[in-house]
Chains A and B, each alone.
Chain A
Amino acid sequence: GESVGLHLPTLSVQEGDNSIINCAYSNSASDYFIWYKQESGKGPQFIIDIRSNMDKRQGQRVTVLLNKTVKHLSLQIAATQPGDSAVYFCAESVYGGATNKLIFGTGTLLAVQP
């Protein structure tokens, strides 16, 4: 099958370890952020989102941290599983803007070693 992971930064972790994927965003006016997971040959799948009035948001096994001062996002995955192997993208937008179009960052390939 095809791979969307060519030439992407790669994070390799052992099964059961925690993973941290980082993302720098570009627009200081962006106030809504989403992490997506994309498996080979599939469309991006929503993981978790956060508004700029928050620093941290937790979901099931995932946590997103937002540092507006340095325009940095991170996605933490607890107890990483083989099924978490995929390319992860952060995306930014201006919430309530005319379109809410998403601007995607460079993805990170997460490779989980059994």
Chain B
Amino acid sequence: DTGVSQNPRHKITKRGQNVTFRCDPISEHNRLYWYRQTLGQGPEFLTYFQNEAQLEKSRLLSDRFSAERPKGSFSTLEIQRTEQGDSAMYLCASSMTSGGFRNEQFFGPGTRLTVL
């Protein structure tokens, strides 16, 4: 499978616990994005990496959230001291910088987080 993969697909945790999600982008893609989606809404941008550099963070990303992409390949998103409001689908997408017209982002299947 050459698409974007995410693990785990589902995570149930108790309030106050820390969780970590992983995203493996399409191998040649240098850009990686994290989005969050709640039921009935479109995805909302959280953060963006170009290679290993984190270049933008949304104000939605509180100090309990941290993301890394240490070698410019896979990325992790950690949420510390989870709250019930963190329950959502966390989506990862990747794209390739190009000089051409196309700049589509390819999404993974998402990690569904439920905080009890």
Contact = CB atoms under 8 A, between A and B. Distances in A.
A3 B112 CA distance: 12
B110 A43 contact: yes
Interface in B47-68: 48, 55-56
B113 interface: no
Interface string A85-99: 000010101010011
Interface in A1-49: 2-8, 32, 34, 36, 41-46, 49
Interface residues of B, number: 29
Interface string B29-41: 0010101010111
Given A43-B91, A100-B95, A101-B56, A106 B42 contact: yes
B48 A42 contact: no
Interface residues of A, number: 32
Interface in A72-114: 89, 91, 93, 95, 98-107
